[in-house]
Amino acid sequence: MVAKREALSDRISIDMTPMIDVVFQLITFFMLTLRTVITEGDFDIRMPLGASVGAASEDQLPPVRVRMTAGPGGERTSLTMNGQPIGDFDELRRRIVDLVGAGPGSSADKTEVELDCDPDLSYDNVIRAVTAVSGQVQPDGTVVELIKKIKFAPPKKK
Amino acid sequence: MARKQSDGPSKTDIDMTPMIDMTFQLITFFVFTLNFSTAVQDDRVQLPMSQLAKPAEGPSVDPITLQLMSDGRVIYAGEPVSLQEIGGYLENEKRVMIASNKEPRSATVIVRADGRSKTGDVQELIKACQEKGFERFVLRAQYDESK
């Protein structure tokens, strides 16, 4: 009798088993529902239905025409801006900055870019061109916005 | 001496405290990383990368997500559909919008096209949407963190 009372007062042991069961269930649930979300962003493109909807305002500058041609495998074979050949997308961005200017007083709001692409062109190039004309990432990480109005030229028949 | 020997092998006491500590840490981690975002993402589409693809501030208005795979098929509601058939599904979307007193042109069509797909296919998809009265389009790209 003495020994039993001693054992009781010595240590009260709680049965941990149900709690651990539940906790492991919870871990399993959260682990299986874990989803890593990749950061994604959007580019607006203006695709009004008729010409009347997209009527140009008074101070609208003539659109910048970016033409890309494709080889048989979808790779880009040439890049021109308003008819002038351009080497790569960095040069395209420099030309756009030269054209509209950056910062206050820039005419980027009034300028529109029209993308004219071959149907076989790999879509990757379109996004790279859109990236080049729509902004510039500064070395400190801030983004200088350039042209935001981007549209596609009417698709060509294959 | 006899008593000690008898309760020795009957019950071995393992200290559970460190395990429970760690387990709760894990639970807390998973609870905080849980996200309820309903953003549509699909492994069948490899988005092109862009340094300017910063996520939008708010959710888009009445989004319709169309995903274009590199082979030219469109994933609509999880199922691959050919470009020719997508018009019928868009007609349904349009009817649903009109039934809930919304204009099709107030909807935002999110184009998640694979970087390897053809530009002509993307334009065809946009044209199919325009024929049903959808006017607002966004091209989705994956944010490229590398400089």
Domain ranges of chain B: 2-33, 49-143
3-state helix, strand, coil in chain B (%, to 5): 35, 20, 45
My answer on whether A76 and A26 are in the same domain is no
What mean pLDDT is reported for chain A? 79
Same domain? For A7 and A79 the reply is: no
Q: What is the pLDDT of residue B21?
A: 92
Question: Which one, of B80, B34, B145, lies nearest residue A41 by Cα?
Answer: B145
Q: How does pLDDT run across B104-142, given as a tens digit for each residue?
A: 878 888 888 998 888 888 888 988 888 888 888 888 888
Q: Name the A residues in 105-124 with CB < 8 Å from any B CB.
A: 117-124
What's residue B2's pLDDT?
Answer: 45
**Per CATH, domain B49-143 is 3.30.420.270:** yes
* Minimal CA separation from A124 to chain B, in Å: 4
Q: Interface pTM (ipTM) of the complex? A: 0.73
Contacts of A131 in chain B (CB under 8 A): 50-53, 141
- B chain contacts of residue A34, beta-carbon cutoff 8 Å: 30, 33-34
What parts of chain B have a pLDDT lower than 50? 1-6
Is A58 part of any domain? no
Interchain contact, A131 vs B141, CB within 8 Å: yes
pLDDT for A28 equals 92
What digits encode the pLDDT tens for the residues A51-103? 444 445 556 777 888 888 888 888 888 888 888 888 888 888 888 888 887 66
In this prediction, residue B23 carries a pLDDT of: 92
pLDDT interval class at A114 (50, 70, 90): confident
Contact B53 A43 (CB under 8 A): yes
Predicted pLDDT of residue A53: 43
A142 and A73 share a domain?
A: yes
B53 with A122: Cβ contact below 8 A: no
List of E strands, chain A:
40-46, 64-70, 76-81, 84-85, 112-117, 135-137, 143-145, 149-152
Q: What is the pLDDT of residues A7-37, one digit of tens each?
A: 555 677 778 889 889 999 999 998 888 877 7
Distance CA B109, CA B139 (A): 9
pLDDT at A24: 92
Domain co-membership, A88 together with A141: yes
Does residue A46 lie in a domain region? Answer: no
CATH number for position A120: 3.30.420
Which domain covers residue A76, as residue numbers?
Answer: 64-152
Give me the half-sphere count of Cα atoms (radius 13 Å) on the Cβ side of residue A3: 6
Is residue B68 packed enough to be buried (19+ CB in 10 Å), middle (13-18) or exposed (0-12)?
A: buried
Q: Do the Cβ atoms of B139 and A155 come within 8 Å? A: no
Supply the pLDDT for residue A133: 86
Chain A interface mutation, best of B65, B139, B147, highest count of A Cβ atoms under 10 Å: B139
Q: Are residues A69 and A27 in the same domain?
A: no
